[in-house]
Amino acid sequence: MAMQKKKTSMQEQKAEERINNFEEVPYGYTDEEALQEAKRCLQCKDEPCVDGCPVEVPIPDFIQAIIDGDVEKANQIIKSKNNLPAVCGRVCPQEEQCEAVCVMGNKFEPVAIGRLERYVADYNMQRGTDKSSKEEIEKNKIPELEGRKVAVIGAGPAGLTAAADLVRFGLEVTIFEALHDTGGVLSYGIPEFRMPKEIVDQEVEAIKELGVEIKLNVLVGKTITIDELFEEGYEAVFIGVGAGLPRFLGIPGENLNGVYSANEFLTRVNLMKAFKYPEYKTPVKVGNKVAVVGGGNVAMDAARTAKRLGSENVYIVYRRAAEQMPARSEEIEHAREEGIIFKLLNNPVEIHGDQGRVDKMECVEMELGEKDDSGRRRPIPIEGSNWMLDIDTAIIAIGTNPNPLLTKNTKDLATKSWGGIKVDDNQQTSREGVYAGGDVVTGAATVIKAMGAGKTAAKNIKEYLLNKSDK
């Protein structure tokens, strides 16, 4: 039979329908579609795709289990390495990770690893067979570690992953989370139409069932300090508090009414469940002409959310060109289909207002010059090209930095100039027994990179505690 060159496509809600609701856009593979896609895998012996995954999901093995018709086994294989497969299958930047190195991709489209991972996770969740294997957990327990206490700060992807691995070693693990909900950005940042909250909750529930305790509404650095955690008998600490402090452009007019950070905008919509209760007034006031500044996933999410809240003209204002947008290509495509208007190679220089409320964004056109430190061509303003965009709402989505609360209140914790925590290759900070990972170390990055860091930290915390007990 001839080789199928393209990925098996995934059915999704039509753009004209989905802009009126917050339901998930892609439906996921059916059994037949998953089998068809799984059969594209070449089962390469050297498994390059596994090296492309920061948590080392045994990709060919789980795909083989799909082909064998054993989707429960496929789930056990994935869960041995990844505790958030339904999340990763949906939001991983696969094109930069596992699928970027898939051998099929040398000639044709790579195997749709993310879609298959989502299929396996959803299949098992729907049937209640999404738990990690009990034998696998028992096998990993280390007698010298049983009952010893480790604290994890933050219940986002980094903290959840570290906690799940640590508890498997036999440790007693408590996560301290500042908010009233778990999941970090998965719950309060990424919108429902891309990351349904029920899915996040179910994967967190499975982590709790491994034995991880989660204490909500504890702001470490304020409610309790890291020193106090050690005094309470925790022998090691993992910090995974993310980067929740929004950056602004620093241009005139940013404090006018109607200007939001994407962070505030999306958090309000998510945590106040604007998507679930449309009969109530939405917790954010968006007008009909919304400009979102930025080109990443956060900008796409903010723009598509504004559209769903009823805004007519929604613009993405981005200072570089389309090829340089950091958002996942699927999100850019979905945004275009939904009628988001892209004003590329444009940068805002001032936000103008009338009686304290935003009414225009002054932009300058840009051209691309030499490559900068990020390897992308530097955008340069074209003199005299200023123009006005009529708007009533502006949303700034140009990145975030870590909140300094915890780092400021923790003695001897070395940080970088922008506030990120300094770590070595083992994710160890400048303080003994304190490890960190995820956005708080790298700055705003990706779910899977945060999870990879959580995994590395867990492994090294295990080694640290074993060495400590030898002394």
Q: Which structure tokens are listed for 381?
A: 């303003």
What is the distance between the alpha carbons of residues 169 and 143, in angstroms, rounded to a whole number?
Answer: 9
Q: In the set 25, 59, 299, 303, which binds ligand SF4 (CB under 6 A)?
A: 59
Q: In the set 214, 447, 457, 458, which binds ligand FAD (CB under 6 A)?
A: 447
203 binds, among ligand FAD, ligand SF4, none (CB under 5 to 8 A by kind): none
Q: How far is the CB of 10 from ligand SF4 (least distance, A)?
A: 14
Q: In the set 12, 13, 35, 44, which binds ligand SF4 (CB under 6 A)?
A: 44
End-to-end CA distance of the chain: 62
Q: Are strands 377-381 and 357-371 parallel, antiparallel or unpaired?
A: antiparallel
Q: What is the CA radius of gyration of the chain?
A: 23
Count of residues binding ligand FAD (CB under 6 A)? 42
Site for ligand FAD in 216-235 (CB under 6 A): 219-221
Q: In the set 339, 445, 459, 468, which binds ligand FAD (CB under 6 A)?
A: 445
Q: How far is the CB of 240 from ligand FAD (least distance, A)?
A: 5
Site for ligand FAD in 146-175 (CB under 6 A): 153-159
With residue 453 as reference, give the H or E element that holds it.
Answer: helix 447-470
Q: Which of 359-386 are b and which e, b meaning 16 or more Cβ less than 10 Å from the residue's Cβ?
A: bbbbbbbbebeeeeeeeebebebeeeee
What is the distance between the alpha carbons of residues 377 and 320, in angstroms, rounded to a whole number?
Answer: 8
Q: Residues near 318 by Cβ (< 8 Å), separated by ≥ 6?
A: 293, 294, 295, 299, 325, 342, 343, 344, 345, 346
Q: Are 137 and 83 in contact (CB under 8 A)?
A: no
Is 439 a residue that touches ligand FAD (CB under 6 A)?
yes
Q: In the set 86, 111, 237, 266, which binds ligand SF4 (CB under 6 A)?
A: 111
Residue window 412-451: x/- pattern of binding to ligand SF4, with contact defined by CB under 6 A: ------------------------------------x---
Site for ligand SF4 in 73-92 (CB under 6 A): 82, 88-89, 92
> Nearer to ligand SF4 by C-beta: 116 or 395?
116
Q: Are 158 and 453 in contact (CB under 8 A)?
A: yes
Q: Which of 261-282 are b and which e, b meaning 16 or more Cβ less than 10 Å from the residue's Cβ?
A: bbbebbbbbbeebbbeeeeeeb
66 binds, among ligand FAD, ligand SF4, none (CB under 5 to 8 A by kind): none
Q: How far is the CB of 142 from ligand FAD (least distance, A)?
A: 25
Q: How far is the CB of 67 from ligand FAD (least distance, A)?
A: 28
Is 42 a residue that touches ligand SF4 (CB under 6 A)?
yes
Q: In the set 93, 110, 246, 399, which binds ligand FAD (CB under 6 A)?
A: 93
Q: Taking the alpha carbons of 317, 323, 325, 329 in that order, is the dihedral positive or negative?
A: positive
Is 301 a residue that touches ligand FAD (CB under 6 A)?
yes
What is the distance between the alpha carbons of residues 237 and 440, in angstroms, rounded to a whole number?
Answer: 14
Q: How far is the CB of 330 from ligand FAD (least distance, A)?
A: 9
Q: How far is the CB of 107 from ligand SF4 (least distance, A)?
A: 11
Q: Residues near 410 by Cβ (< 8 Å), separated by ≥ 6?
A: 221, 225, 226, 227, 431, 434
Q: Which residues bind ligand FAD (CB under 6 A)?
A: 91-93, 153-159, 176-179, 184-185, 189-190, 219-221, 240-242, 244, 266, 297-298, 301, 328, 403, 405-406, 438-440, 444-448, 450
Residues forming the site for ligand SF4 (CB under 6 A): 41-44, 47-49, 53, 55, 57, 59-60, 82, 88-89, 92, 94, 97-98, 102-104, 111, 113-114, 117, 448
